[in-house]
Each structure stands twice: as C-alpha cells, then as structure tokens.
Structure 1
C-alpha cells in the first residue's frame, strides 16, 4: 500500500480575504479539473461584474450569499483528480463566526492548507485555524503565503511569515510545516513554478499535494468497529443469521480474530465478514461491513467491536480538549448528551478547566464558560460507560460530540485525552 497514491482529503483555512477560494479555483482550473460549462458560467458571471478575466473564486463560492458578500460561509466540498492522485477538498470559511464550519470540514482531513496574506502576515484567525488543525491532529499542515505579487515577490517577507508561523506551530505541537509562496490570482507556484520567485526551490502546491502521505496504514492501527445496526433477516435461507453492521473506523479485521464487545467486556471470535461484494477473509478502515461472531452475544447499536488484546478501556469520566460551536455558552453543571461513534449517552459537564488564549497560545485556567468558537479543556461524566481511545492515537474513536438534549443540535466537538489520563481522573 503506497501512502502517496491513495485519495488525499485536505482542507483550506485562513482569515477573510486571504484568497482561499481563489487558490482552490486556480488549483481546479490549472489542473484541468473544471468542466467547460462550469468555466463558461464563471466567465459569464465575471463579465457581469465588469471583470475581464474569470473570477476563479466563483468555482467554490457556490451559495448566493457567498457570491454577494464575497466571503465563504459554508464548507464547499470539491472532488478532483490528477494523473497521480484523487483528492477530496474542503474549502472552509475564514470569518471568525464560521470557525465551527472549519472544524467540520477539517475533522476528516489528512492535510490542512493554511493561507496567509503576505501583506498582513499572521493574524488571530490564522492562529485560531492552526490551533484547530493541531487539536484535530491533522497529520500534515502546509502554510501557503498568498498574494506574494503584492509584496514584490519578496523572499524576506516570505521568510519572516514562515518563521512566525513555525513558532506558533511549535507552541501548539504541530511537528512539521511545509511553506509555499504563491500568487493564486496569477497562478504562481499553484500548479506551475513561478518565474517571479526563482529564489524558491520547493514544490508547487499541487506537487506537494500529490506526494504527501494520505493516511495511516490500517494494518498498523488497532481495529475498531462501532456497531450501527444488528441484522437478523429471519429468512428460510438464513434462519439463524445475526450480523453486526458498521463502518470500520480504524485497523484491520480478519476471520478468526478474537474480539471483545464493549462496554460489556464479553469476547468471541469473528466467524465471517460480509461485504457488499460478498464474503471476505479480511476488511479494513474505512470499509462498511457486517461481522458475524462465533458466539450468540447480546450486542446492540452503540457497542464497539475491538481486538480482545488491544481493546480500549471503558470510562464514565473523561478529560478532553473541545471547540465550542454554538452561541449558547457551555457551563459547568450543564446536562446534555454525549455522542461517541454510534453510542449516545447522557452526560454532565463537571468542570471547565481552562480556555485557550489565541493571542499568546497559552491556557487560561479558571474559565467560567466557553463561548462560540472558544477552545478549552473540560471534564465530562457520563451516565453509562463508553469505550474511549485517546484522540491523538485514534481520531475516529477518540472524538465525541456534546448535543443539546432538547433540540438535538450539536454544541461542542471534543477530542479526548489518552485513556490512562481518564482512568487516573476516576481514581482507578
């Protein structure tokens, strides 16, 4: 399995007017991933605005309100491919009030492209988006310094911004950053190298995207199968069929593997794996499968199948870093629902430990609440046990949502600490 040939999921992020939509439009246009009728529509809309050349941002600013206001509001997903690789792109909003949309778009990304306007350098929203990328454990972060043509394609300006960004990245625990100087409007270093920045010897944006690893090899991770549905057809052909259907969130499952059922802790052996293509001897993330076990065990939606020797611990008390997504503040003592994989349980916020100050990237203890787009540390207690991984190890089963029990709206996105930390918090 070559990690540089699989589909790459990546997200764009950055402050308002940093040129995200233009960069994405240029990437699609210059890689010949735009249909002729789409390009014709963009050219016609640009002429109505009095623009002689196509406004490539219109390729991604799809909502009417986005086109009228000149800002990205919702996450725009685009699918395209080159001769080397397929891509799933999430163009996320830059405005602070839409940071929650960025969390949504980046939550499954293998790479984050963080844009910075060369004229303005690092601003608060840059730090906020970098903090979100760090919290979501996005494996690759790429700095794109845009609008280099407006600073004379200065190598010194690029070096200063790269150094400041690297300092923020180090403070947030981002291990590596790749930086590319571009002019998205003119196409410099997006798909083709720039003659105006001959001092830059690195890859173009597209060359970088084509060569970075896409995801962790599932063979190196412990398997996790959150059960979505129990299948019991009760037909003459299959009178005793009992299968547990779901999407494998990580790892590899094989027929004959001993597995544990959580949170009950009972164990069995995988007897068969059924896929849409028929029976299989093995399946891996992110395939959707139905697993049959050798023993008749009481299993329901929300349970988790995992290797018996590498199962996550269960807990009723967890510590996590969260990003609050709604105007309703999050306060200690609030009762809500916690959704983890396919399991939903009642929960209460025991403590709000701290809030991240985006000016100096330090945690401020003693926070009374978390407001919209705030990032902080909390402790949650659940009414029932959940089988929890640390988010740093497994994103799929280390993440959770806090939900309003009255209207079902999502309040907060959470990234759990390692299980041993949670266990110590319970005094176990």
Structure 2
C-alpha cells in the first residue's frame, strides 16, 4: 500500500493506493458502521482521534462477506474499534508540538457510573500552518463520547468534528519538472480580487455521528441490533465557486452469530436511508464573496437507500480452515433534477423553487444490484508454512456528480451532443451498471 499526506502531522486527508486502487474507494467503518458521503471517501482519519482506538482492522483484495462495504469497497475495508472503557477512573492527556506552528492537545477521561455503567469523554484541538506558503490546516476540534453497560450488552458512541483548512495548490506536470523553482508554488496572498487568492481556497467541514447497539440472546444464539445516524457538511471554497456537500444518513445493522456442529455461522442485514446533496454556487472574487448565481444547481428526489443481507460460515480444524460467504447489495440512488445555471437566487430553496430544469436534466431513481461471494481455504503444513487460496468480489457504484457538472456546464459540448443524439441524462444513467472486481 502506498500512502501519502499533504502535511506531516495528520491534519489533512490521507491519499494513496492499495493494490493500484485509489484510497478514495476505500470503505471506512466506525464500529462496523459505514462512514461515507456522496461517494466512498477514503481514509478520512483526520476526523478521528486515533488515540481513542485500540486497533484498526484493514482488509485488502479478497474480502470476507461479513465485512462492511458502504457504497463501494473496491479499495478495501477499514474498521475502527474504540478502546474499551476502563472499569476504573482514568485519564489520558497529551500535548505535542512541532514545526510550522503545529500543536495538538488531547484529553480522554474514563469513569464508571455504577457497577454496570461506564463512560468516556475525549476532546482535542490541533492546528498547524501550511508548510507551503499561506494559510492553516486547522483549527480542528474533536469530541467523542462512549457509553457501555456490559450486563445489558449495551454500547453507544457519539463523535463530533469540525475543521477549517486552507487548500494546497497542486502543480501541473510541467511545473513539477522544475521543483527547484516551483516546490512551494501555491495560492498567492497579494491580490484579493483574483481567483487564486489563498483565502478563496479553503474548506469548512463538520461531521457528527451517533450510534447505539444492543446485544441479546435469540434463537439460541447471539444477536445484536445497532441504530446510527450521521451528518456531514462540507463547504469547499474554490476560487470563484463555493461547493457544498450536505449529507444525512440513518441506518440499522442487525447481526446473528451461532455455532452449528463445528461451523461458526454469522448472518446479518444492513439497511440505510441517505439524503446526499451537492451543489456549487458562483461567487465574486472580492472580499465580499457575493453570490453571482450557480455553477451547478441540483436537487435530489427524496432519499437513496441500501439493503444488504449477508451470511458467512467458517470451519477450523487443527490443520485446515474454510470460510465462505455471500453478500447481496441493493442500492437505490434517488432521482435528480439538474437546473440551469442562470438562476440568480442565492438561497438554495429559492433557487430550486424558481429554477428551470436543464433540457434532458431529469433523472429517475436508479437501482443497482450485485451479489458478492467470498471463499477461502487455508492449510497448515507445519509451524512456519501455510498454503491458502481466497476469492472474493468487491464493487463500486457509479458516480454521477462529475458527469452532472460537465453536462450542466456543457463542457466540450457534451450536453449538445447528448441531446442531438436523441438521448437525455436519464438514458445515459440507465445504461450504467455497478462495477465488480474479482480478487484471487
């Protein structure tokens, strides 16, 4: 796996490749709950305090059917597990600092409430100047709260993250060939009437998640039900544009584990409703940043949904281990309406109510279905040698938004070409299918 970050302190998002696949297609889970926005969003470890986790599960290539997938796992799966809450009062406090004015202060307090209940609360703040020219990578603030009742098999977690950060300007291929001259080439700070003024390139992000799970006995086996809700708000200032991602998700995860003869069997169901909106306003390149219409105005027609049942089984003897499973994913992506950019209403709801739909810009609900089998055999020859074979299928749902933006702007005449061929955006998206990748 190749991993890279834009800073040395973990305040920016990690990017990389795992077996050649971009980390943006990595499925990230917090305590088995998928965390994604308008698409799989990669590691996003910068929204968590890693001090709170006892371990991180990472799966690549052939992935078990019981692993969480979100809306795509072709880049692998990561599952974060909180450290157990201490039975005794304890604290974890740390302060660190470094170059480029970096600092981070972290505090976690674990405490029992009574014989059965215990909680932890953690908070942190961090920041750093950009190593490359102007701006900061924070301030970043995190809060996490956890609750456990071991007797009732009840646990609950809440996390809150906010971060404001200035962006790094990427180099063109030609610029990258002369790093002695362009190594620190970035947005400038001398003219706030230009689109490349550094303070016009930044992100304001917030993320909140709540989950509560309850274990119980059922059918002579162990069952667990978990409910969760999350909200993400990402506002990216991009020169003369202001892009907003507003995502809300609610879901439930049901699981059952049992033993039948010498087989361990796990089955479960993931169900979710999501409201994932993205739109881009056009703003002036002046300190006032006044609204000047829209670069891309889009409205979803209700909620998208996921239904995903799975079953897996494993058998293990002294020298031999077998594991097999099957997961089904049904993803319904809500329909959309794409509006003309000439709309002058700055408020999103007013713009939608008074807007005119682009020719061919109405898209129906689209349903994607896929079966994801997995199979593995492992045989131990001696204490130092094993033979194994594993196969699985992963997937990635189609991603509409970049195509939307090109159609809205009629980039390279794409809108004209589609309409002149007698087709619409709906025809294009109906021809798309979910992509599967086989791993051996």
Q: TM class by shorter-chain length?
A: under 0.3
Greater share of helix: 1
- The structure showing larger relative contact order (alpha-carbon pairs under 8 Å, at least 6 residues apart) is 1
Give the TM-score of the pair, scaled to structure 2: 0.25
Give the TM-score of the pair, scaled to structure 1: 0.25
